[in-house]
Structure 1
Amino acid sequence: IIERLHKEYPESEWTIQTVPLFKFLKEARAARHKIDELEEINSSLSRENKKLNLDIEKIKTLDLELEEKQSP
């Protein structure tokens, strides 16, 4: 509604009074979008971190097995 007010009645007193609210809502939408992006990146990094930790554990196990085979 505020966007429509700004488009259709840019010189209206009501439009002028809603400028701070309009800016706030626009910034809030942008912040929400950024939060969504960051949550997706965080989720992706968490998955990658778990995979890398599993790989590290597998390598440790293989290393121990190799050491056992090499020791007399």
Structure 2
Amino acid sequence: MKKHLTLILAAALCAGCATGRSGEKGSGFLQSFSEGRRLASARTSLEKGDSAGASKILESIVSGPAIPGVTDEALFRLALLSLKPSVERPASPQGHQLLRRLKKEFPASPWSVQATPLVELITTADELKRQNRAYRITNQTLSHEVGDLNRTINDLNKNIEQLKHLDLELEKKR
């Protein structure tokens, strides 16, 4: 009996040492477990259609210490929520930043692998938007120039008509 009690006490002491680092509040296994449960809660909120509630939970997870397997998924899901525009808010550049952070901090994560084509698509879309804006500005400038050219052509046509009229009058006087 004493042996079992000593063995249980030693295991409990070792488990206590293994679950946390000295000086860090809530670190180690317990924090990983706690954050994993919060991530599961965010997934449940998403399944119920509560994206605002899920966003709050995910934001609190990604603002804390990095926990592989939890923070990487939270970054990915929060990025997706940030990229998806809704009635309350438009798509934000925060989603792109979150995906870049995911790739930087968790390069071996399966979530990083899924983020790679998204980052490329977002980058391409941003470049296309930039080009579209530049084309719109160029189009507006050209439209103004065409208007100016049309006015100039009309003025020249009037001058030609006046010259023709003057030429006819000169011919009559001869």
TM over 0.5: yes
How far the C-alpha of 1:10 sits from its partner, in A, is 1.9
More helix by share: 1
Q: Deviations over 1:24-65 (max 9, x none)?
A: 111111111111111111111111111001000000001111
Q: Take 2:108 and 2:126, find their aligned partners in 1: how far apart are those partners?
A: 24
* 2:86 is aligned with 1:14: no
Q: Which has the larger radius of gyration?
A: 2
User: 1:55 is matched with which residue?
Assistant: 152
Greater relative contact order: 1 or 2 (C-alpha under 8 angstroms, separation 6 or more)? 1
Task: Report sequence identity in percent.
Answer: 26
Q: Take 1:37 and 1:6, find their aligned partners in 2: how far apart are those partners?
A: 31
How far the C-alpha of 1:19 sits from its partner, in A, is 1.3
| TM-score, normalised via structure 2 length | 0.40
Q: What is the letter of the counterpart of residue 22 of structure 1?
A: V
Gaps of 5+ in 1: none
How far the C-alpha of 1:4 sits from its partner, in A, is 1.5
* 2:140 is aligned with 1:43: yes
Partner secondary structure for residue 71 of structure 1: helix
For the aligned residue pairs, the C-alpha RMSD in angstroms reads 1.1
